[in-house]
Structure 1
C-alpha cells in the first residue's frame, strides 16, 4: 500500500534554461513526488531527480499547490506565458490525484493566467479534466501525450503493470479527440525498450493502433537509458523474470552481469539506436503519422522567433535520430528562441551574425525566411 506524505513547498514551478526541443516546454511542474504507476524502466528512479527511494509506495503530496503557483505567476517579473510541462517526471494523473486533485488545482491556475500546457500521462483519469483542458486549448494551446511503450498486454504487465493497460491508453487518445477537439494529442513511444518493445511487427501494430485513434502524432526518440538506481532496479527485475533478455542487455549496454551496482553504458552500443530510428521514421511516413508535435506560438514579439526555431529544431531532431550532425543547428535555434527581442529587429540592424551559432548557411537561410516571409 502506498504511503502519502503531505509536504508544503515554497515553489511549485521550475523555469528551464532552454525550451525542451521535443515537447516545447519552458516550465515544468510535478504535482507529486513518487509515482504509483512504478514503471520498472522509469528514469525518474535515478539519483538525478531526487525522488523517494521507495518510488511507487512513498508518494509526496505537495500541499497548497494552487495558492503557491498563483502567487508565483502573479508576482513573476521574468515569466512570460509559455508551455508548462506536467508529468514529465511523475504522472500527474496517478491514483493519488483522485483524492488530492493537485493537478486540477494547478490547471485551474494556469487557465486563469492563460499559460499553455503539455500533459504527459498513462492515466485514464486525464479524461476527468477534458473541459478544463479544452478551455486552455482554446485560450492558448494544450497538448496531451500518452505514453505507450508496447501494445502487448503481457509485456505491459512486466514494464508498467500498475498503469492502465495499453488498450485503455489508446481509448484515452480516442476520447480526447472526440470530446476535446482543440486539444492536440498523441502517443509517445518513449522509451523504446530493447528486446521488449522493439519487435518489428509489434511496433508496426502499435503505429496502426495509434493511427486508428485519429490522434495528431506518434513521437519516438532514443532507446531506454540506464543509470545508477534506475538501472539497478530495472536489471534486477529483468534478471529475475527474463534471464535470457538480461544477457542481451549485458551485451548491448556493456555492463558486468550480476555486479553489485551498475557499471555499464547510459545508452546502447553500436548502431542499435540509429537502426531503430530509421525503421520508426519509415513507419511514420507509411502511416502518415507525424513524429513531431506542433509547438505553441505566442501571439507577441516572440512569434517569428518561435516559428523559425521550430523549423530548425525539427530538422535538428531528425538529424539527431539518424546520427548526423545536429548540434550547431540546435544551439542556433535555442539562442533564437531565447532572444529578448524580435528577430526582425536584430536582422534590421544587420546583427543576425551576432547571435551565437547563427552563421554561414544557417544565417543565409534565416535571412531568406525573413525576406520572403516563409513560415
Structure 2
C-alpha cells in the first residue's frame, strides 16, 4: 500500500494547508517512496496535547439555527477524527491545519473550570443552558487524562446551573454520579451522537470514537438513571448512512432516548477537500455518487452557509431524508419529549452559597 494512503486510526488522510498561513508544506512522492523502501517513518502519527490559556471559555452563539445560545469547549481539535466534522475549520484559527493537525494537535484548556466559575459568578450573568461540545467533543480521549469536563460539571452542580452535553463517547458514564445529581434538579440534558449502526462504517468514518454498541448502551444507562437523552443522527450522508434512518431511530427509542435530531452533511471550507480525498480512498466505488448527492442537497455545492437551509438541505434527496426523519419521530417518539432545562435555581448560588434573607 502506498504509505500516503495509510494513516491508520485517523479520519483525514492528508495535511491541508492553513488558509491563513503563507507557508505550507507537502510530502513529495519520491520522498514517500524512499521512506517506504528504507522502512523509515514519514510521520509518527502521535497525538500531541498542547496547553493553551484562553481568557474566556463561554462563547455566545450567534448562529440562529444551531439550537444553542452559549457553548464551551474544554479542548480544541478532536482525536475522534470524524472525517466530516464541521469543527475542523476552526483549527485554522489556532494556526494549524484542518486535516491531520485537527486530530493530532489537541489544545487543552486546563483553566476552563476556573474560567467557567468566573462567568457563573458574574452579577449580570443570566442563566441559559450552556452546551459543552458545541464545537469539539468534551469526552474525547484527552478527557481520560485531564478530567476538565468532570471539573466543569462540578462547577455547574455547585452553582445549580443548567448544562447540555454533546458527545459520542461512552466515557460520559464515568461521571454518572455528577449527572445524576444534576438531573435531580433538571439541570442536565445529554445529546448522544450516533451516525450509523455499522461498526465497519464507524471505523472508517469516525475512527477513534466509541463503538456503536457502547454508545447505545450509554443511552440506555443514562436513561435508566433518569438523565434525559436525545440521539443526534448527525450528519446524515447520502448513500453512506441515509438508508439507516429508521433503524437508527428505532434503536435510539428502544434504548431509552427521548428524541432524535438530525443534520444533512455539508462540507464547508477545507472539509470539502478532506472528505473528497477520504471517500476516494476508502469508498472509490461510490465516491462520485455520494459527492453528487451531497451537492444535490445544497444547491449544487458541497458547502452551504445559508442559515436554516444549510442544516436540513433542499432538493429531492434532502426532502426524502427529512421525510424519513419525521416518520421515525412519529413512529418511535410519539409520546416522548426532551424536557426543558431548569434556569430558575442558579441566582441564589452565584456566591457559592444560599442567601439567608
TM-score strictly above 0.5: yes
Supply the distance in 1 between the matched residues of 2:137 and 2:104 (Cα, whole angstroms): 14
1:277 aligns with 2:322: yes
Match of 1:131 in 2: 177
Contact 2:185/2:342, CA 8 A, preserved across alignment:
no
Match of 1:326 in 2: none
1:217 aligns with 2:259: yes
Supply the distance in 1 between the matched residues of 2:92 and 2:340 (Cα, whole angstroms): 26
SS in structure 1 at match of 2:164:
strand
What's the CA shift for 1:67?
1.7
1:196 aligns with 2:237: no
SS in structure 2 at match of 1:85:
strand
Q: Identify which of 167, 183, 186 aligns with 2:213.
A: 167
Alignment of 1:13-162 (within 5 A): 13-17=58-62, 23=67, 25-47=68-90, 50=93, 52-53=96-97, 54-74=101-121, 76-162=122-208
CA deviations on 1:339-374 (whole Å, 9 max, x unpaired) are: xxxxxxxxxxxxxxxxxxxxxxxxxxxxxxxxxxxx
Any gaps of 5 or more consecutive residues in structure 2? 1-45, 305-309, 346-357
What's the CA shift for 1:171?
0.4
What's the CA shift for 1:269?
5.9
Change (3 A) 1:212 1:254: closer
Any gaps of 5 or more consecutive residues in structure 1? 256-261, 301-375
CA deviations on 1:236-258 (whole Å, 9 max, x unpaired) are: 10011112322113423449xxx
Larger RCO (alpha carbons 8 Å, 6+ apart): 2
Match of 1:184 in 2: 228
Q: Identify which of 275, 279, 290 aligns with 1:234.
A: 275
Supply the distance in 1 between the matched residues of 2:318 and 2:124 (Cα, whole angstroms): 39
Supply the distance in 1 between the matched residues of 2:218 and 2:145 (Cα, whole angstroms): 21
Supply the distance in 1 between the matched residues of 2:234 and 2:335 (Cα, whole angstroms): 15
What's the CA shift for 1:207?
1.8
Contact 1:88/1:120, CA 8 A, preserved across alignment:
yes
What's the CA shift for 1:210?
1.2
Change (3 A) 1:284 1:263: closer
What's the CA shift for 1:47?
4.7
Supply the distance in 2 between the matched residues of 1:184 and 1:96 (Cα, whole angstroms): 25
Supply the distance in 2 between the matched residues of 1:131 and 1:240 (Cα, whole angstroms): 43
Alignment of 1:327-338 (within 5 A): none
Supply the distance in 1 between the matched residues of 2:329 and 2:156 (Cα, whole angstroms): 33
SS in structure 2 at match of 1:35:
coil
Contact 1:22/1:292, CA 8 A, preserved across alignment:
no
Change (3 A) 1:34 1:290: farther
Contact 1:111/1:135, CA 8 A, preserved across alignment:
yes
CA deviations on 1:1-24 (whole Å, 9 max, x unpaired) are: 210101111111113357x6664x
SS in structure 2 at match of 1:56:
helix
Change (3 A) 1:135 1:279: same
Aligned residues: 286
Change (3 A) 1:94 1:64: same
Change (3 A) 1:264 1:93: closer
Contact 1:123/1:163, CA 8 A, preserved across alignment:
yes
Supply the distance in 2 between the matched residues of 1:289 and 1:120 (Cα, whole angstroms): 23
Match of 1:5 in 2: 50
Supply the distance in 2 between the matched residues of 1:297 and 1:193 (Cα, whole angstroms): 34
Supply the distance in 2 between the matched residues of 1:14 and 1:90 (Cα, whole angstroms): 13
Choose between structure 1 and 2: higher helix proportion: 1
SS in structure 1 at match of 2:329:
helix
Match of 1:287 in 2: 332
RMSD, aligned α-carbons? 2.4
What's the CA shift for 1:33?
0.4
